[in-house]
Amino acid sequence: MLLTIEDFKRRIGQDLSGMIKELQDLTGRFGEEEASAWENSLPCLAKAFSSSGFDHLHLYFNGTSALSLEYQLPAASSWCDVVLLGRGERGPGAVIIELKHWQTHGDYPAEIVGLINHLGQPTLHPADQVRGYVEYCRRFHSAVHDHSATINGCVLFTKRTNIEAYRLPPNEELTKDFPCFSPFEADLASPFPSFIARTINAPDFEFAQSFERGTYKQDRGFVRQIGHQILHPEDSPFVLLDNQRRAFSLCRAQVESALFQQGKVSAKKVIVVDGPPGSGKSVVAAKIWAALATDEKLPEGPIVFASTSASQNSNWAHLFTRSALTGAGAGIVKKATSYTPISTHALGRLRRVGDGTKVENRDGTKVN
């Protein structure tokens, strides 16, 4: 849902229930818990944008300055709570804001970076959550690539509670890059607006629209980096032995023939690698992907690693993250189901068209 900040604040004050209903229709999340989270957090966000800190910094958050609510990352199942869109000193930019209406009393630091003990359980640190969104956009968002945009992120806690534990070691460096802000005046008067001003201080509605309609687009240099890591045994968790090496060479010959015959992309081809569990089929597949990713002859366009089950997807995401040395490596891995032309929720929306209702797509087009 792309809005100007002016419209966002007006709707929060005049029609919060209507906005929540629209968000439910957009996301397919109709539960009472989700609605309650929006009801509690969105007014706090509107209040934060009205703080004196924005006036003091002369930030232009009226007119055509824009934000996107419940933004779904391209070709991913993750949703960003809020994305502020505009431009700064270095050109177009975006700030992803993760909203947390958490009760943090009794929370304490975990033993490793990226976790926090919340309600007695080790939980993903919100700053690490938003870091994942930021890294994904930097590596795989078409508008970010096309506009050379700057992307940053932060966390805004919307319940008046103490969040000091979230800033303590081992997460002190994490929260310097992806800070956590409370709804208290001490944060809203200066630190929160100042952080946003590092990326955005003016409107850029053209970029906002481009970002909202963005698609999955790979940073080919990053992809090649992962490929090189996989191909080099000294740095890689993927090592080939004996007949695995023969299988890799045979498969690579078939791939080369299919893709680069006479310098042109030829017809599609399916290569089946057969073998018992533990024989190295997955390792061969990873090496084939890496060989393609590092081949300078490969045409432009995304080159992903498709998985066929939830557990397989998790395993491959972990291995690619390990090879990339950053969480963004997981963005290379895509579930086979992500290639379906329409989501279950979107299918439900189309079924409702039967009663004569016009349904608007994400790109603004109408389905009759």
pLDDT digits (tens, 9 = 90+) for 151-189: 999 999 999 999 999 999 999 999 999 999 999 988 988
Residues 185 and 255 in one domain: no
Residue 108, φ and ψ in degrees, nearest 5: -150, 160
Residue 367, φ and ψ in degrees, nearest 5: -105, 120
pLDDT digits (tens, 9 = 90+) for 96-124: 999 999 999 999 999 999 999 999 999 99
Q: Structural domain of residue 54, as residue ranges? A: 2-212
Residues 197 and 282 in one domain: no
Residues 203 and 264 in one domain: no
Residues 195 and 309 in one domain: no
Residues 23 and 113 in one domain: yes
Domain presence at residue 362: no
pLDDT, residue 360, reads 55
Domain presence at residue 347: no
Q: How many domains does the chain have?
A: 2
CA angle at residue 80 from 74 to 83, to 5 degrees?
A: 95
Radius of gyration for the chain, computed over Cα atoms and rounded to the nearest angstrom: 23
Residues 110 and 236 in one domain: no
pLDDT, residue 358, reads 56
Residues 49 and 139 in one domain: yes
Q: Which residues of the chain have pLDDT under 50?
A: 362-363
Residues 153 and 187 in one domain: yes
Burial of 277 (0-12, 13-18, 19+ CB in 10 A): exposed
Domain presence at residue 145: yes
Residues 194 and 262 in one domain: no
pLDDT digits (tens, 9 = 90+) for 131-143: 999 999 999 999 9
Domain presence at residue 318: yes
Residues 65 and 195 in one domain: yes
pLDDT, residue 289, reads 87
